[in-house]
Structure 1
Amino acid sequence: MEQLKNTTELIGLKDKNIKIKTVFKADTHITIEASLDYQPPLCPHCKSQMSKYDFQRASTIPILDVQGIPTVLKLKKRRFQCKGCRRVTVSETSLVKKRCQISKPVRQKITQYHTEKLTNTAIAKRLHLSVSLVQRQLEAFTFKEDLTRLPEVLSVDEFSRNKGQLAFIAQDFETRKIVTLLENNPQTTIKNYFYRYPRAVREAVKVVTVDMSGSYIPILKQLFPKAKIVLDRFHIVQHLGRAMMSTRITIMKSFDKKSLPYRAMKNHWKILQKDNRKLSDKRFYSRTFSQTLTPKEIVKKILDLSDEFRYYYELYQLLLFHFQEKNTDHFMALIDDNLPFVNPVFTTVFKTFKKYKSYIANALELPYSNAKLEATNKLIKDIKRQAFGFRNFKNFKTKILIALNIKIERTNLILSRC
């Protein structure tokens, strides 16, 4: 923690050569008049001694707000003239870069607001700057790619970037730091990127987590030959849930719309989708059955209405049980035993599971998933939504890397000090 010694440091003017003369407060802003002066240095051109010449016309430099009021610094800079070559130079300060009019604290504040997922327009409005300046500050960021290392656990996925176009994202599972963002997700693009890494680096990747998209798995085995591929557990359960919902709707529509089975399956669909071990014991009034029941009692009544639905419901619950208990053998055996008897929807799901049997086994045995990457995708969607979309993918990529990678580094630094 740094001790602030006077008022100038309190408002961000840490250069001791800046002397405040007067301060004016108007209805809309505060103006601070100051001068920059120090002993003449050597000439940067001929190294002769320089002498004080005069003051330059006051520069208007935006600084951070004082008491929530927009504040500008009217700074007169001392000019020096060389006694040898007679050239004139202007004094410099750490407050602003050479030939710039925006103070460094303001530029740092722009970066801070970028990490908070604010739009360029919102940042410009808060700091009383032009949108183009905020955009230039965004474009000034460069992120170097380290082609000498890859994380041991890598998560990959895609997200929508613009009008149905998909972009590819890879993230470090442990640190949540983004490894790369690619403008599109064809296999050729992904291969060309990762083949820039030496084979030894790619072989150091031990685990790759991915959703059930069939387009990624074949190339992941080529790119990371020694890595175990882990399917995201959420997507496995999601496939089962969608198959169960589709089956319920099909069976429901076989009854008359005014009949009790139709109304019961339609009105209590959420209870039927749930894991029966998580059903509440709390009683509530069911309009369908015209009595007060618990969710478990409702399920029992619905199963008594249709033997076909009972079969699929019990199969669905058994699959959920073995999956959550991580019984890989029982889970796959149940699929093999029931594959000849299920409807086309469940047949498609079961065949997909058999195709990815080893990857599902990895998902049940290893503690990795795509959950962290899905959370990152949610933040990316928030950035895109707040900015009403990005036409330029480079700006979109920079915004994401600032908002996520820089923020993660700062957060980890703070936590390490606790």
Structure 2
Amino acid sequence: MTSLNHCIKFQLNITDPNLLFSNYYEKLCHHKQTKVYVAELVQPACPVCHSSTLKHNGHYVAKVRYLTSNASQPVLLELHKQRVICCSCGKRSMAQTDLVGKSCRISNASKLKVLTALTTDRSMTSIAQENNVSTNTVQRVLDSLDTPFRAQATTLPEHLAFDEVRGVGHKLHFICLDGDNHRIITILSDRFKKSIVKYFEQFPITIRKKVKTVSLDLNAYYQAIAVQLKGFLY
């Protein structure tokens, strides 16, 4: 089983030591032949008191959608999450992993792939089909990641890139990237001047003046915004 566990983890690029794969099979799901990998998610210690003296209290089975290179053959992770009772503090808990959010059925890797696809000029429908998720899921990924980008933004890179991504109903969203490593700085719910200016004005002028370049297409609309925000192309 150790060899099988290692091989599946290598194939799926998974490193979580608390995830132990034991089997795999194929089944027909939503008219598509689906690969299913079975694993037990172990709870090594109590999340409250960190005691390793735990009493097993069953499992919770979750089917998680995972990355696939072939859209016609989806991949599911059948996670058997351990439920435990801490013998020290008596608290009940269930094993969790960074692979997927709590109570979520779509892996974080899949969400990241969806978000990366949103940076290209493509429709949400095509992105959803490629990743075996619904169009609403693609929209939720975009919406859920918008707030953390804003909340964590405390500085700006020296080189920025402005563009837009197409959303549900052909709606366009403003996206700002780090011009050096293409890391996403923010994605706004629209591409209106008022929204863009409001976002960047949350940064002090001293931070904005550190921006050396802004990469744009031929859209004069963004050029005017960059000039207005003191410190950009100034």
TM-score normalized with structure 2 length: 0.59
Give the CA deviation at 1:54: 1.7
Aligned partners of 1:61 and 1:73 also within 8 Å: yes
Indicate conservation of the 8 Å contact 2:155/2:207, yes or no: no
Distance, in Å, in 1 between the alignment partners of 2:183 and 2:47 is 47
Query: Where in structure 2 are the equivalents of 1:318-357 lying within 5 Å?
Result: none
1:188-216 Cα deviation digits (max 9, x unpaired):
x979x769744x77888999xxxxxxxxx
Q: CA deviation at 1:25?
A: 3.7
Supply the distance in 1 between the matched residues of 2:41 and 2:77 (Cα, whole angstroms).
Answer: 15
In structure 1, distance between residues paired with 2:102 and 2:123: 28
Shift of 1:108: 1.5
Matches within 5 A, 1:296-375: 373-375=216-218
Counterpart in the other structure of 1:22: 24
Is the CA contact (8 Å cut-off) linking 1:61 and 1:72 kept in structure 2? yes
Is 1:99 aligned with 2:99?
no
Determine which structure has the larger strand proportion and give its number.
Answer: 2
Identity across aligned pairs (percent)?
23
- CA displacement at 1:129 relative to structure 2: 1.2
For 1:79, the equivalent position in structure 2 comes to 83
Q: Distance in 1 between matches of 2:104 and 2:116?
A: 20
In the alignment, structure 1 segments of 5+ residues that lack a partner are 157-167, 208-369, 381-418
Q: How does 1:136-147 map to 2 (within 5 A)?
A: 136-139=140-143, 140-141=145-146, 142-143=149-150, 144=153, 146=155
Q: 2:134 — aligned with what?
A: 130
Conserved? CA contact 2:57–2:82, under 8 Å: yes
Match for residue 63 of structure 1 among 43, 61, 66: 66
2 CA distance for matches of 1:41 and 1:75?
Answer: 18
Q: Structure 2: where are the runs of 5+ without partners?
A: 1-5, 163-173, 223-234
Structure 2 Cα separation of the partners of residues 8 and 174 of structure 1: 31
Q: Distance in 2 between matches of 1:196 and 1:13?
A: 37
Partner Cα separation in structure 2 for residue 19 and residue 121 of structure 1 = 33
Distance across 2 between alignment mates of 1:11 and 1:173: 30
Aligned positions of 1:13-412 closer than 5 A: 13-16=14-17, 17-26=19-28, 28-38=32-42, 40-42=44-46, 44=48, 47=51, 49-56=53-60, 58-65=61-68, 67-68=70-71, 69-139=73-143, 140-141=145-146, 142-143=149-150, 144=153, 146=155, 183-184=192-193, 197-198=204-205, 373-375=216-218, 377=219
Distance 1:37 1:101 in 2: 15
Q: How far apart in 2 are the matches of 1:55 and 1:137?
A: 28
1:94 Cα deviation (Å)?
3.0
Distance of aligned partners of 1:70 and 1:51 in 2 relative to their CA distance in 1, 3 Å threshold: same
Return the offset for 1:89: 1.3
In the superposition, relative to structure 1, how do residues 94 and 127 fare at CA in structure 2: closer, same or farther (>3 Å)? same
Distance 2:134 2:38 in 1: 24
SS at 1:65's partner residue? coil
Query: What is the distance in 2 between the residues matched to 1:6 and 1:205?
Result: 45
Q: Distance in 2 between matches of 1:175 and 1:24?
A: 38
CA apart distance, 1:135: 1.4
> Would the alpha carbon gap of residues 171 and 135 (structure 1) be closer, same or farther in structure 2, given more than 3 Å must change?
closer
Contact 2:48 2:91 (C-alpha < 8 Å) held by counterparts: no
Give the counterpart letter for 2:216 in structure 1.
L
Q: 1:374: Cα distance to partner?
A: 3.9
Q: CA deviation at 1:39?
A: 6.4
Gap change, CA 1:85 and 1:183, over 3 Å in 2: same
1:173 Cα deviation from its structure 2 partner: 10
Give RMSD over aligned pairs. Answer: 4.8
**Deviation >3 Å, runs of 4+:** 37-40, 45-48, 84-87, 170-182, 193-198, 200-207, 372-375
Cα displacement (A) at 1:37: 4.3
Amino acid at match of 1:61: V
TM-score, normalised on structure 1?
Answer: 0.36
